Amino acid sequence: MKEIVKDVTVAFVIVFIIMQFYEPTRVFGISMQPNFHEKDYLVLSKEAYAKASPKRGDVVVFQSSLVSFKGDKELLIKRVIGLPGDKVVIKDGDVYVNGVQQSDYYTKDRYTIGDISVTVPEGEYFCMGDNRQHSTDSRFSSVGCVSSSLIKGKVIFRFYPFNKAGKIKSI
C-alpha cells in the first residue's frame, strides 16, 4: 500500500510541475483551418514568452474581450502576423507587413477580407486566423491588436487527432 501511495504522490507532483509550464487546449470553431480543426487537442507552452517575444508566424492563444455563451471571456487561437511597430496593410485580398506582401500559402482560401492599415502599438501583436474568411481577429475592433499581457502562450504540439500529432512549426 505504501508503494501505491508513493507512486501516486510522485505522479501527482510530476503532473503538477508539468502543468506549471504546459497546458492542454482545444480548438473550437473553424477560424484556423486548414491547419487546425474543431476538436484538435494542442499543448500550449505557458513559458514560451517568458524570456522571448512572439515571432511572426507563431500560433498563440490569448484572452480576448469577446464573451462566450456562458458569459466567460473567450480564449482565441490565432497566428501572429504583425509585431510591435509593424505597419500591417490589407488591400485587395493581400496582406502587407512593412510594405512587403506576405505569403498566404498556409491560409484556407489564400485571400484576406478587409481593407485596413494599422501600425501595431508597442507591446501588442496583430493576429489573424488561417481561415481568413471565417475568423474574428485583429482586423475587427472587437479583438484588435493583442496585448502581450493577454497572450497565454505558444502552441507547440498537437496530440490529437493522432494521425496529425507532432510539433507545431511557425510559418
Catalytic residue among 78, 108, 152, 154: 78
Strand partners, 158: 42, 166
Show the cell assigned to 134: 471565417
Distance CA 88, CA 119 (A): 6
* 78 catalytic residue (yes or no): yes
Catalytic residue among 31, 64, 135, 138: 31
Using the CB atoms, write b or e for 70-92: b if 16+ within 10 Å. eeeebbbbbbbbbbbebebbbee
* 31 catalytic residue (yes or no): yes
Catalytic residues: 31, 78
